[in-house]
Amino acid sequence: MAKKLTDEPVFTRAEVALVLGVSVLTIANREKNNKYPKPKRDFNNYRYYTLNDLFNLQLKTFDHIDAKPIISIMYDKGYGSFRNVSQIIDQALSKRGINAR
């Protein structure tokens, strides 16, 4: 079942590591050394990252946002077709004042 456009995508540390092309340990070390902000935690105390958090980490790491790896992960997580996933990313980028096209 595809997730709705209104569902806020959240990502695990492992998924963030895939997007950034680093290991989970690298992310943990960067958070520990205050190079990355501490992630939010859910009611079970698991770390999670929002789409906006992921954009911020990409900007900190690469000085630009690359939506391709994010789209791939969201598609695998069941957010529907690539078109739906692209719409979610476009909406998130427009909130940041960035034109995705």
Pair type for strands 10-11 and 40-41: unpaired
- 15-60 residue pLDDT tens: 999 999 999 999 999 999 999 999 999 999 999 999 999 999 999 9
CATH topology for the 10-95 domain: Multidrug-efflux Transporter Regulator; Chain: A; Domain 2 (1.10.1660)
- 50-94 residue pLDDT tens: 999 999 999 999 999 999 999 999 999 998 888 889 899 999 999
| pLDDT over threshold 60, residue 101 | no
Whether this prediction's pTM lies above 0.95 is answered by no
Nearest residue to 14 via CA among 60, 48, 56: 48
| pLDDT over threshold 70, residue 100 | no
Q: Which amino acid, residue 76?
A: D
Contacts 24+ apart (CB under 8 A), 8-11: 8/50, 8/51, 9/50, 9/51, 9/74, 9/77, 9/79, 9/88, 10/48, 10/49, 10/50, 11/48, 11/49, 11/50, 11/51, 11/53, 11/54, 11/73
Report the alpha-carbon distance of residue 11 to residue 100 in Å, rounded.
21
Report the alpha-carbon distance of residue 13 to residue 2 in Å, rounded.
22
Give the pLDDT of residue 86: 87
More confident of the two residues 85 and 2: 85
